[in-house]
Amino acid sequence: NGPIEGLTVTVDLDQKKIVKFSNTGRGIPIPKSSNTDYRYTAQVKPPELKPLNPISMEQPKGPSFIVEDGHVVKWSNWVFHLKADQRAGMVISRATVQDSETGELRSVMYKGFSSELFVPYMDPDEHWYFKTYLDGGEYGLGATSLSLVPLNDCPRYSYYMDGVFVTSDGKPFVQSNIICLFERYSADISWRHSEIPINGFQIKEARPKVTLVARMTASVGNYDYIFDWEFQTDGLIRIKVGLSGMLMVKGTPHENTNQGFDEDDISGPLVSENAIGVVHDHFITFHLDMDIDGVNNSFVEVNLVKKETSKGESPRKSYLKAKRRIAKTEKDAQIKLKLYDPSEFHVINPSSRSRLGNPAGYKVVPGANAASLLAHDDPPQLRGAFTNNQIWTTPYNRTEQWAGGLFVYQSKGDDTLAVWSERNRPIENQDIVLWYTMGFHHIPCQEDFPVMPTVSSSFDLKPVNFFQSNPILRAAPTFEDDLPVCQPSAS
């Protein structure tokens, strides 16, 4: 059923007493439960879609990865440690990739995980204003993970991993099968080039892309979050978050927008009879302790600057030039993304050079994103001040792992990434941590109800002058004889 709108009970948990009872929702009906059961077995209408034939990636020789000691993953040119964490959900550590020339394993990242997840709802009403959640620190992304659904959450040939956590009284408990590891092939192309035929001679070269995915889902109350870390053979790491689950809805007397429904007076669109989908944001901040060929790293902003030609210099009027700036201190590396002031953001090792003299590095490549628009002195934004920038860089400090602070419950924002970074510590040629915040603005719609189709965003960690040349140049193509011959079963 829907919410009992306007009813809030305040409880003193220490004294176990009700200290306030507020009921301002008289006249607001409880939304009906009809057409809200999303389970397959509860559907009484025939499916809207013609069913697709079953599809699966077959691996007749099994997957190409191995997991040693339960946590060390080895696949293609990658080796990394994978574990479940009660607060962060999934942690990737000691990620190394094989050099395509020497064959040695080279360090890329010491530790990476989702540090905090901030979800403020946009309603100042007395029953809603406090709904500004810090899901990592208040609930735990691992603690709210449930067993994955084979063939639906994860494909065939997946490897499943448990989480071993601790209860409030100190006893261990096991969340089974909350991480899955699998290879993905979705007909993407790893690289290709064709030459236009000249004198009957033609070159056509293409390579299929197969990747390795580590996945975890967190069901934090109404919302489900799908976290993917995807490793590519060219050294790229793609970090992706998908949002699904159920909207948090607010009860309303309205059943239709024609019935005196004033958009200025409500906090979101009508998504069902007597139910408003309240506008809200999602921000996921990642802690990325990069160790490019060691711990001495620097943050570099490569800004694209427009230059204009002088009279008579060229038929061109303007062009772009790349201008590098090494960040000396933390404030030099506080980045707000701007479409019309584009930059690349590199983490380099100034003492590890290619044969051409370029420093080895990785760059963070933003995907679709959103910035927090709340006032900086708004209490929830003080607690979520780590979303004031999309990128931060701090010197490594073992006490600075959680962007919202170590103790988040009832915090006031005095122990956040924004507070630490105000010290403006030196970060050049140091052991540094890169922080990246991914954001979503969510204006709900009817299609999001009763359970929403997944909405995703991602960002990449991509090698820049890390390899001497294309590291998958010598990857073998696939031929028809390499593949199994599948015959249809007898009817």
- Catalytic positions: 135, 223
- Are the beta carbons of 99 and 347 closer than 8 angstroms? no
CA 164 to chain centre: 23
CA 6 to chain centre: 34
Q: Which helix (H) or strand (E) segment is 135 a member of?
A: helix 135-138
Of all residues in the chain, what percent are helix, strand and coil, respectively (each to 5)? 5, 45, 50
The type of residue at 429 is: N
Cβ count within 10 A of residue 162: 14
Cβ count within 10 A of residue 384: 30
Return the structure tokens found at 406.
């170590």
What region, left, alpha or beta, does residue 184 occupy, with left being phi > 0 and alpha being psi -120 to 50 degrees?
A: beta
Return the structure tokens found at 108.
């890329």
Return the structure tokens found at 286.
């990642």
**φ, ψ at 263 (rounded to 5°):** -60, -25
Distance CA 414, CA 338 (A): 28
102 CB-near residues (< 8 Å, 6+ apart): none
Distance CA 179, CA 224 (A): 14
**φ, ψ at 88 (rounded to 5°):** -85, -20
Strand pairing partners for 309? Answer: none
Return the structure tokens found at 463.
């090698």
365 CB-near residues (< 8 Å, 6+ apart): 344, 459, 460, 461, 462
**Pick from 404, 452, 335, 371: which is nearest to 117 by CA?**
404
**φ, ψ at 235 (rounded to 5°):** 95, -5
Distance CA 446, CA 435 (A): 34
- Are the beta carbons of 336 and 392 closer than 8 angstroms? no
What CA–CA distances, in Å, run from 480 to 233, 377, 477? Answer: 22, 62, 10
**φ, ψ at 414 (rounded to 5°):** -95, 5
- Please tell me whether the peptide bond between 155 and the residue prior to it is cis, using omega within 30 degrees of 0: no
β-strands 189-194, 204-208: how paired?
antiparallel
Cβ count within 10 A of residue 220: 21
